[in-house]
Amino acid sequence: MQKLDSVLLNNELFSGVAEGEFSQLLACLAPVRKLYEKNETILAQGDPITKIGVLLSGQAQVIRDDITGVRSILTGLAAGDVFAEAFACSDIAELPVSVLAVTDCSAMFFDYQRILKTCSSACSHHTRLIRNLLAVIADKNIMLSAKIEHLSMRTTRKRILSYLSEQASRHNSNRFDIPFNRQQLADYLCVDRSALSIELSKLQKGGILAFQKNHFRLLKHFEL
Partner DNA sequence: AAAGAAACGTTGTATTTGCAACAGAACGAG
Partner DNA sequence: CTCGTTCTGTTGCAAATACAACGTTTCTTT
Which parts of this chain interact with its own copies (CB under 8 A)? 64, 66-70, 72, 74, 85-92, 96, 116-118, 127, 130-131, 133-135, 137-142, 144-145, 147-149, 151-152, 154, 165, 168-169, 174, 190-191, 218, 221-224
Residue 71: which H helix or E strand, with range? strand 71-77
How many Å apart are CA 54 and CA 60, to the nearest integer?
11
The phi and psi torsions of 49 (rounded to 5 degrees) equal: -105, 120
Residue 81, contacted partner among DNA, its own copies, none, CB below 5-8 A by kind: none
Q: How far is the CB of 105 from DNA (least distance, A)?
A: 25
Contact with DNA (CB under 7 A) among 194, 206, 207, 215: 194
Beta strands of 96-161 (E only): which ranges? 98-101, 105-111
* 132 binds DNA, rule: CB under 7 A: no
Q: Are 216 and 178 spatial neighbours (Cβ–Cβ below 8 Å)?
A: yes
Which is nearer to its own copies, 14 or 36 (by Cβ)? 14
Residue partners of 130: CB distance under 8 A and separation at least 6: 115, 116, 118
Contact with DNA (CB under 7 A) among 44, 116, 197, 206: 197
Contact with DNA (CB under 7 A) among 10, 117, 183, 187: 183
Residue 143: which H helix or E strand, with range? helix 125-151
* 37 binds DNA, rule: CB under 7 A: no
Conformation bin of residue 60: beta by default, left when phi > 0, alpha when psi is -120 to 50: beta
Q: How far is the CB of 76 from its own copies (least distance, A)?
A: 14
Chain residues binding DNA by CB under 7 A are: 154-157, 181-183, 190-195, 197-201, 211, 213-214
